[in-house]
Amino acid sequence: MTEMIRRSAAAQAAALGAGEISSEELTRAHLDRIAAVDGDLNAFLHVNEEQALTTARDIDSRRAAGEELHGLAGVPVAVKDVVVTEGQPTTAGSKILEGWIPPYDATLVEKLRAAGLPILGKTNMDEFAMGSSTETSAYGPTRNPWDRDRIPGGSGGGSAAAVGAYEAPLAIGTDTGGSIRQPGAVTGTVGVKPTYGSVSRYGLIAMASSLDQAGPVTRTVEDSALLHELIAGHDRRDSTSLTDPVGAFAAAARSQDVKGLRVGVIAELEGEGFAPEVRARFTESLAQLEQAGAEIVRVSCPNFSYALGAYYLIMPSEASSNLAKFDGMRFGLRVVPEESPTAESVMKATRGAGFGDEVKRRILLGTYALSAGYYDAYYGSAQKVRTLVQRDFAAAFEQVDVLASPTAPTVAFRLGEKVDDPTAMYMNDIATIPANLAGVPGISLPSGLAEDGLPAGIQFLAPARADERLYRVGGALEALLEDSWGGPLLAKAPELTGGAN
């Protein structure tokens, strides 16, 4: 079973279909792995053992009866704790929602259940997805399986660490400014931010509604494609949901053909601020693509230089509005002052006790940016920059098929290294944020080992609704790199056995 859980999700699905293993055995093996190593990693906030095994047994019975099942039926999955799950706690990494049990499932969770994927549990995250290191979680930080003294990225570090540590073959993340792709880069996993609106946001606890997007976290590009195909599709309950048919992502990932593909290197996202070894792995990856027949083109997106500043006005503004619902009146935590409590004093006490420092910081910043007299100067100006970023993308995609950059400027930094310097923390998302401002899809996959033997990532971006291009280039590069490495990059990670690194 140790060998089986290290296989890709596609390989596990094939083994299930061939009768080599049962879903109950596979699910139990992952639960055992969680029990063995998660005490050190803290990737999971809640483990759903009983329900996961019940789902697995049901799939085994249906398969034995000859019922036609989804290709991933019986393969376990983990879900980021910002996605609501009926009957399971959903906290968004915050004390203000501690113990809350949602009465309904998010649309993507409904799809996972309908397809027969046992849900192992809910993964740790920065509080309300506000952070780049999973250190702002009210339930303690998650640790990187490559080095437990380092961060696993954020906000979705729990999902990335769980997949990287073989606790789950598949996971769901959400990406508002890079929270799927940046954790993927620093944990040696694959993370995809789909086109905005192609995966329903119904049932996601919103931080910034115009930026949030759920997507897959996996160990291979093909696995991401398979999970993406499952969770994508129109949802009438989400007013921003696209009506486009779901693409043939898995077929694109398997094609491994980049001949004639034009890959644009973004000049603004490869120079100053990016670690030399991260840039070196990026350059080597591009060389592999060029040798395989891709055309490498230099492009400029000048307004990307302003994307970080615009994002940190738009996102807090939307967050301050979305988080207003957490008032101590309707659900979650309620703190009642001892003397003459009023609605206002209860709200103040509840939000003061329930929200962490980073959440408070962003609420204050967003409220200020939206206030009378400052709206046009800050929020309005940021939206104008957003339009310029979208125009940069449009101009670039007239010249190339996909764009490329390093996913994150550095490898995983040490726990506590940047927690007291918000500006330094925010800089980790400099390469990923433009995609969220424009609503275009992006993928991050391992590009090799950099400083201290830690993984680096390469990011590809495609036009909106052209997610298949990401899987085409990602699948091809993954095969080329693994051939040169002699196998998956995760095989080079330090072993996690019984908590010993």
Question: Which positions are annotated as active-site residues?
Answer: 80, 155, 179
d(CA 30, CA 43): 13
Q: What is the DSSP letter of 303?
A: G
Main-chain dihedrals φ then ψ at residue 469, nearest 5 degrees: -65, -35
Spell out the residues 6+ positions from residue 492 whose beta carbon is closer than 8 angstroms to its own: 449, 453, 485
Which pair of structure tokens corresponds to residue 92? 């968004």
Helix, strand, or coil (residue 364): helix
How many other C-beta atoms are found inside a 10 Å radius of the C-beta of residue 434?
32
263 residue type, one letter: V
Q: Using an 8 Å Cβ cutoff, are 469 and 260 in contact? A: no
Which pair of structure tokens corresponds to residue 112? 């996972």
Residue that is written with structure tokens 């940190």 in the block: 312
Got the DSSP string for 238-269? Answer: -TT---PPPP-HHHHHHH---TT-EEEEEGGG
Q: Which residues pair with 404 in a beta bridge?
A: 265, 460
d(CA 376, CA 321): 17
Q: Which helix (H) or strand (E) holds 468?
A: helix 467-485
**Sheet hosting strand 262-266, strand order edge to edge:** 44-47, 119-123, 77-80, 170-174, 214-218, 190-193, 442-449, 455-461, 402-406, 262-266, 295-299
